[in-house]
Structure 1
Amino acid sequence: MISSWIHSLFGQIAIVLFWLSIVGLCAEIVNRATGNNELVRKVVHIGTGNVILLAWWLNTPMWLGVSASILFSAVALISYYIPILPNINSIGRKSFGTFFYAVSIGVLVAWFWSIAQPQYAAIGILVMTWGDGFAALIGQRFGKHTYRLWDMKKSWEGSGAMALISFTVCALILLFTIGNLWEIWLISIVIGLSAATLEAFSKFGIDNLTVPISSAAIAYFLTQTLINL
């Protein structure tokens, strides 16, 4: 009875909304405790990205995931001009990261749900969710060794965190779905380095689109090439 309710459409929506409400509550607590909008954004960034694991576990229909992506993309885009999400987007801030983030989820769900390979969508989204989230936090807190790309200031500590966490995310998911093969470690190294590079060179929040889609695509094609011959 409980299992059938969980996997029903109503149950899936209820579980996702419950998780998002927890994320929202945590963001509000952080906002009241620190008043740091950037930290609030990262709490939401990390928290919402994990919805992909719920969608994978619940075998959420592709149309539902894509529809949710379109809805949140529209809300994110409007919020840059109307303060719908004041603690997530700052009006006039030269970044469309939240919009690209929502779009990337829809693209990856449409792609990998259609070929019954949701683990690669999870790799792409979680590389961005955890890698970029902690890269920013670690870079701001511990970034002592900086470098510049165009007009952007980056830190080696932040870029290193992006590479390490992206490697870990990819390795864990592939180990869970494929098993312990040497190719998995090579694929994960490539993902870690490529994700860190794309994040470093991206402007205006475009890394929220390029990092997840590229990470998922590289993981998928390398897996097909090196393992599933």
Structure 2
Amino acid sequence: MWRFLSVFIRRARLFCVHFSPARGFLAACTATSLLLLFLPQRTPPAPPELAASLTHDLSTLTVIAVRPKVLGYDRDQFGHGWAHSLNQHTGQLCTTREAVLQDTFALHDCRDRRELGVAHPQLDPYTGRAMDPTHVDIDHIVPLSAAWDLGAWSWTSQRRRDFANDAQLNLVAVDSTINRTKSDATLSAWMPPDPRQHCAYAARYIHVSAVYGLAITRADERTARAACGL
């Protein structure tokens, strides 16, 4: 099917170049342009290392039909707010949120909020656009309530707290509006607005799930494979 369409489009383009003054051919060229506009685009293949990592992670996960709704979720099940720890890059005592912001915007003092007002904008990993440093949320790649439903309900309090504050794997600074549109959605319900970010986001979501032993749904597995062209 794709081979046929490719041949058709190439020949139609030649007609457009050589015969477009003729009214009949002009109509054909218009139809071809519309076909090119609305034809679905193939997902480009993922970089080999990312594809291999995603394939491995998927092979280790428990895949379930649908996301269950497990009663008892509360944000405090994952700790009362952000944890405090030493920022490994600066040695300062910061909350996890402050540490992520400090690393993202290269702040000197994680506790000085005035620095955010003059910090250089960074690119939002979900949109590819510049983020306003004063309108940023810290997103959990795998949302806490989704994690609860997919296995975290059975964890110890300390493991849930570690998960909620895992800046290396599960946290990223993003535009606050984008973060709130995501809410607690899993892969099949939400992906970054910028299609160029789909594979990296899906691979990271799956990696977090694999590291922490969380289940994923069949729909999320299909979404991850499609995002990376597997």
Q: TM-score range by the shorter chain?
A: under 0.3
Q: Which has the higher relative contact order, 1 or 2, with Cα contacts under 8 A spaced 6 or more apart?
A: 2
Structure ID, larger Rg = 2
Larger proportion of helix: 1
Q: Which has the higher strand share?
A: 2
Report the TM-score when normalising by structure 1: 0.27
